[in-house]
Amino acid sequence: MIEIDALTKVYGSAQVRAVDEVSLHIPAGSVFGFLGPNGAGKTTTIKMMAGLLAPTSGQVRLGGFDVARQRSAAMAQFGAVLEGSRNVYWSLSAWQNLMYFGRLKGLRKAQAGERAGELLTGLGLWDRRHDKVGGFSRGMQQKVAIAAALIADPPIVLLDEPTLGLDVEATRTVKDWIAELARELGTTILLTTHQLDVVQELCDRVAVMRQGRLVADLPTRELLAGFRERDRYEIRVEGAAPPGFDGVTRDGVTTISVRVSDPREVYDVVERLRVQEVVLESLTQVQPDLEDVFLALVREPSHA
């Protein structure tokens, strides 16, 4: 598990609080989405969690080990792919990278080789295993970085933009792996990405940062439900929009957006359509997606 208590980072004589008393508890075996716009303090938080930056105050524990006081033990719990960083050595082949990181993390040579084979095969890189990573495409380099993070099967994995640069098939492979790691092996996954559809699909819980502070930390379904537009419905009818209604027509079907002050008013709208002998195809309450919720949270402090 990951435990973050009152984590704070203050910079300079101006006392700029890049991270302001952030606390998170991420249970073992969960997939946790950690989101924030540029400048929100998310990257600073991640660097403190990974032991790359010392906090001004507060504590991070990985698998029960304090990152500041038990660094070696804490880092042994942890594998990471950091976006924008050289996560692997470009002058080495994919195989050499995985063998190096496997040995560095305490695996015997035979163990490292077996695990490297599994990972490279699963990511479709087996035939290129002896090629230097520097000659790979951005997506292939990302695959090697992911494999290096997973080589020793760490109980906690940080994935920062893990599907960036990947094609559709490779993205599906990585998403399936993330789900399997949590479900089958009990791995704790901390996922950061701007691809919010990936977060919505995979994450059990989502936290959002804004201006150094958490503005949300809720189960994904609960977070989405809290922003459901209870007063907005979409009605799909056959043919063009009937008199008195505006809509968008495509392929012979018109979608009409309706706002009501009381859900019971929807029945009045349906009755108006029935009187005009309009064929109703569907009636649905508009559901927000994670992008809608994220934008509302980072733009409107009142939602915190």
- Convert the pLDDT of each residue in 107-147 to its tens digit: 999 999 999 999 999 888 999 999 999 999 888 888 899 89
Question: Taking residues 152-163, what's their average pLDDT?
Answer: 90
At 265 the pLDDT is 87
Sign of CA dihedral 289, 290, 291, 297: positive
For residue 286, give every residue at least 6 positions away whose Cβ sits within 8 Å of its Cβ, in sequence order, or none.
228, 229, 232, 233, 234, 257
Question: Taking residues 27-50, what's their average pLDDT?
Answer: 93
Q: What is the band of 230 on the pLDDT scale with cuts at 50, 70, 90?
A: low
Which runs of E-coded beta strand occur in 134-245?
Answer: 156-160, 188-192, 205-210, 213-219, 232-238
Q: Which two tokens stand for residue 272?
A: 């108006």
Percent of the chain with pLDDT over 90: 53
Is a pLDDT exceeding 80 seen at residue 9?
A: yes
Cα–Cα distance between 166 and 141 in angstroms, integer? 10
At 166 the pLDDT is 79
Question: Taking residues 4-8, what's their average pLDDT?
Answer: 96
At 302 the pLDDT is 46
Q: What is the band of 2 on the pLDDT scale with cuts at 50, 70, 90?
A: very high
At 54 the pLDDT is 94
**Comparison of pLDDT for 48 and 86, the residue scoring more:** 48
* Alpha-carbon distance values, 51 to 2, 60, 122, 280 (Å): 13, 9, 30, 58
Q: To the nearest whole number, what is the mean pLDDT of the chain?
A: 89
Closest-CA residue to 141 (of 103, 177, 90): 90
At 84 the pLDDT is 58
Domains and CATH numbers, the chain: 2-225 (3.40.50.300), 229-286 (3.30.70)
Closest-CA residue to 89 (of 49, 142, 132, 138): 132
At 303 the pLDDT is 45
At 301 the pLDDT is 56
Q: What is the band of 304 on the pLDDT scale with cuts at 50, 70, 90?
A: very low
- Span of 96-105, 219-228, 261-270, 293-302 with lowest mean pLDDT: 293-302
Cα–Cα distance between 63 and 102 in angstroms, integer? 20
At 231 the pLDDT is 73
pLDDT in tens, 87-98: 889 999 999 999
Alpha carbon of residue 143 to chain centroid: 17
- Span of 22-36, 54-68, 92-106, 157-171 with lowest mean pLDDT: 157-171
Count CB-CB contacts under 10 A for residue 49: 26
* Alpha-carbon distance values, 73 to 65, 70, 129, 153 (Å): 6, 6, 31, 15
